[in-house]
Amino acid sequence: MIKIAFIVGFIIVGILAIKFVDTTKIKKGMIAFGVLLLLGIVGVIISELIR
């Protein structure tokens, strides 16, 4: 279940990153992608700890 949630989250992050890049501010998009990716990893770690 956690792997499926992680894959879905990763796809959502990818879509958001593409939208940020489309705004021509690539640096801001990369920063946002990094932040979202870190939040996703933290979320996975927390969900693993709760189990």
In terms of DSSP H, where are the helices of 1-51? 2-22, 26-50
* Residue 9 pLDDT grade (very low, low, confident, very high; cuts 50, 70, 90): confident
Query: What is the model's pTM?
Result: 0.44
Q: What are phi and psi of 24, to 5 degrees?
A: 65, -5
Q: Measured between alpha carbons, how far apart are the two ends of the chain, in Å?
A: 12
CA dihedral 27, 30, 34, 39 (to 10 degrees): 100
Per domain, the residue ranges of the chain are 2-50
- 21-30: Cβ within 8 A, 24+ apart: none
pLDDT in tens, 11-43: 787 777 777 666 666 677 677 778 888 888 888
Residue pointed to by tokens 């990763």: 10
